[in-house]
Amino acid sequence: MKNKILVFFVLAFLFQVNNAFSQGCDAEPADTTGIPKIKIFGYIQPEYNYNFTDPSSNTFAFRRARIGVTGKVLDDFRYYFMLETSPFIGGVGSAFLMDAFVAWEKYNWARIAVGSFKQPFGLEVNTACHSLTTIDRAVVSDQLVSPQRDYGVILLGGNKYNRFGYQVALMNGRGLNVKDNNNKKDIIGRATYKLFDFMSVGASFRYGYPTNDNDTRTTYGGEVLFNINNLHIQGEYIYDTGDYNKAAGGGCGSDPLELGDKRDGAYGMIWYDTKWNVQPVFKYEFFDQDLDKKNWAYPNLYSERMTLGVNYFFNDKIRLQINYQANIETVINVDNDKFLAQIQVKF
């Protein structure tokens, strides 16, 4: 496993993507220059999924269907809230509040927000949902950065024009739509630094109490970003240990997996912007649900995946994504690949 991690980072350092911070799934919370006092925004993502294992589960669905409002009441205070209305994430016929916070933004290096928002952990999780290069996030992002949204307070500084940026949050650790069940809070933080105009690196940390006042969870993450003209690469590694909340589920409606006491995973992704508005993409990832168990003895606890995709941009508001997910087994081959197609419209 150590060799895989070393090879992964060596490959990742050969190529980037824009550093995007998002508490919600829209624009950066601090980037409000020129917006009206009230701004309505949102997007929808209808898609088709074909599962080679079980053709009966192939279906049309909505990945996300979101609408929100943001604006300023005073020069230094901003509000933001967003609803998820897709029945395939929130449950049949239901809509729920995802992000809702009030932010004080007088100083760039000491902005404060309180309410519900994303955990400030990791590059891919904090990439706006409508800006993801592949339709699905990596398995490690969905399984180990969970819950992805929570209630709390966050202190952050820096923006896309600064070389350094940081975010530190104190959060319940239980996720949305539930009350906290213990007296202790999770501390989560992320810092990024642009080493060169074409290269950034970052690190994340979480220490919390996901189920009670005694059992703890510790998570570390590292990320690397490159942007060389039209060529982009991003890579990320996450290690997680300790207790976890099984009821929190995976990110964006993904099914939670059974985890051992120690688990890790990583992904690397490369894509290219062509002059024809076509964006080919390749992504490799691995995820180990239990590092204490050998992969050959428990092949169902270790997974690898390659995603081949292409994105086509009709304009900056409409995008078509097509992905083929090749799931790789280490012992017994299973025909469990997936084909996904999604069209996105923003407003």
Surface-to-core class of residue 27, CB atoms within 10 Å of its CB (0-12 exposed, 13-18 middle, 19+ buried)? middle
Surface-to-core class of residue 116, CB atoms within 10 Å of its CB (0-12 exposed, 13-18 middle, 19+ buried)? buried
DSSP string, 47-95: EEEEESS-GGG-EEEEEEEEEEEEEEEETTEEEEEEEE--HHHH-TT--
Distance of alpha carbon 153 from alpha carbon 170, whole angstroms: 5
Distance of alpha carbon 25 from alpha carbon 43, whole angstroms: 10
Strands (DSSP E) contained in 172-328 are: 186-196, 199-208, 217-228, 231-242, 262-272, 278-288, 302-313, 318-328
What are the tens digits of pLDDT across the range 257-285?
Answer: 899 999 999 999 999 999 999 999 999 99
What are the tens digits of pLDDT across the range 195-209?
Answer: 999 999 999 999 999
Distance of alpha carbon 260 from alpha carbon 262, whole angstroms: 5
Q: Which of 181, 120, 186, 189 is nearest to 148 (CA)?
A: 120
Q: What one-character DSSP code corresponds to residue 6?
A: H
SS3 4: helix
Q: pTM (2 decimals)? A: 0.88
Distance of alpha carbon 157 from alpha carbon 162, whole angstroms: 9
How would you write the pLDDT of the chain (347 residues) with one tens digit per residue?
A: 444 444 444 344 333 333 333 444 444 444 445 555 789 999 999 999 999 887 767 889 888 999 999 999 888 999 999 999 988 876 556 788 899 999 999 999 999 999 999 999 999 999 999 999 999 999 999 999 989 999 999 999 999 899 999 999 999 999 888 888 889 999 999 999 999 999 999 999 999 999 999 999 999 999 999 999 999 999 999 999 999 988 776 667 678 889 999 999 999 999 999 999 999 999 999 999 999 998 777 888 999 999 999 999 999 999 999 999 999 877 667 778 999 999 999 99
- Segment 289-295 long-range contacts (CB within 8 Å, at least 24 positions apart): 289/143, 289/257, 289/258, 289/259, 289/260, 289/263, 290/259, 290/260, 290/261, 290/262, 290/263, 291/1, 291/260, 291/262, 291/263, 291/264, 292/260, 292/261, 292/262, 293/260, 295/330
Distance of alpha carbon 9 from alpha carbon 24, whole angstroms: 29
Residue with tokens 């996904």: 340
Please, which residues bridge with residue 222 across strands? 203, 237
User: Which pair of tokens denotes residue 16?
Assistant: 């980037």
Taken in order of first residue, the domains within the chain and their CATH numbers are 2-20+109-346 (2.40.160.10)
Cβ atoms 315, 306 nearer than 8 A: no
